[in-house]
Amino acid sequence: MYGICYNTPVRRTTFFLPDELERNLEEVARREGRPQAELVREALTAYLSTRTRPPPRSVGMASSTDRSVNSENVKDWLHGEWDEQPPSPGHSR
């Protein structure tokens, strides 16, 4: 991986960019002396952190170990759990 060490695993991804956006990315990377991939990760992280994910349509409780959750309080439980958990990979927030 070109001598770069990451704290979390990374995967190679291909993006198709309009010419102007690609030129801007190249220019900023050159000006700041940073890899384009680093700039893209930074921009995506900032963008995705502002997104909210929609609540699920249903909640499967069969595997829940929290026996205090029931049909009367599941919405409160879900709201607390959903707000506390970071989005999983592949889901926008």
Residues 77-87 pLDDT 10s? 777 776 655 55
Can you give the C-alpha Rg of the chain in angstroms?
20
| 18: containing domain | 1-51
Please state, rounded to an integer, the average pLDDT across all residues of the chain: 79
Same domain, 80 and 64: yes
AA identity, residue 45: T
Q: How confident is the model at residue 8 (pLDDT cuts 50, 70, 90)?
A: confident
Residue 18, pLDDT > 90, answer: yes
Residue 3 Rama label (left phi>0; alpha psi -120 to 50; beta) = left
Same domain, 2 and 37: yes
In a domain, 40, yes or no: yes
Supply 56's token pair. Answer: 């699920």
18 or 91: whose pLDDT is higher? 18
Residue 36, pLDDT > 90, answer: yes
Residues 6+ positions from 34 with CB-CB distance below 8 Å: 28
pLDDT at position 71: 75
